[in-house]
Structure 1
Amino acid sequence: MEINTEELGDKIVRVLKTIYDPEIPVDIYELGLIYDVFVNEDMDTKILMTLTTPNCPVAETLPLEVEEKVKSLKDVKDCEVEITFDPPWTQDLMSEEAKLELGML
């Protein structure tokens, strides 16, 4: 059965929600660190993400973990993770759920 790009995008988001920022007990998706997930017809994916700060202690390992976990999905051919600081991450990017979790609401 062929999987479409939208279904694959949903699967990727589910995987992203299993990856946590080591300093904040909230997954990177709810934290707002994922800016975009692109999936093309060849099932190659590109994830545009940011970090809470440019000198984040997991700057080396977190993008790698994202890439490896997304690549582990059987329908994904390849995954590229691009880190950007434009726009810079702010707490406004966090989901209501994340803010609630961290006692910010």
Structure 2
Amino acid sequence: MNHEETVEIGDKIVNVLKTIYDPEIPVDIYELGLIYDVLVNDQKQAKILMTLTSPNCPVAETLPKEVEEKVCALEEIESAEVELTFDPTWTQDMMSEEAKLELGFL
């Protein structure tokens, strides 16, 4: 897989992530800054490093599964794995300008 293909697949993954919303906040998980990294290897396996707004988040069980399922549904991806981390801890500073505007923080 060449660099252009990798970038194209990465963009498709980001577009999928932008369709997934935190149920308590009307902003998608990508704009919220919950996605720390997206990696795709030559075997078309995706690994997503993400966090939650808090370790006690009510969707701690379901949100990572939803991310895995939706990324796996892309025809360019063979498998997807989501790794949850709380290092660094999520803060409102990690939100995009668009998310801050949407939530009235700007």
Question: Secondary structure of 1:48's partner?
Answer: strand
The letter for the 2-side match of 1:23 is E
**Poorly superposed stretches of 4+, deviation over 2 Å:** none
Listed as ranges, the matches of 1:17-56 within 5 Å are 17-56=18-57
Question: Secondary structure of 1:4's partner?
Answer: helix
Partner residue in 2 for 1:78: 79
Q: Distance in 2 between matches of 1:5 and 1:76?
A: 11
TM-score by length of 2: 0.96
Q: Is residue 5–residue 43 contact of structure 1 (8 Å, CA) maintained in 2? A: no
- 5+ residue gaps, structure 2: none
Q: What's the RMSD between the two structures over aligned residues? A: 1.2
TM-score by length of 1: 0.97
Sequence identity percentage: 75
Residues 1:98 and 2:99 aligned together: yes
The letter for the 1-side match of 2:48 is I
Q: Paired residues, what number?
A: 104
Q: Distance in 1 between matches of 2:35 and 2:18?
A: 10
Q: Distance in 1 between matches of 2:96 and 2:19?
A: 15
Residues 1:65 and 2:66 aligned together: yes
How much does 1:5 deviate?
1.3
Q: Is residue 33–residue 89 contact of structure 1 (8 Å, CA) maintained in 2? A: yes
The letter for the 1-side match of 2:71 is V
Partner residue in 2 for 1:89: 90
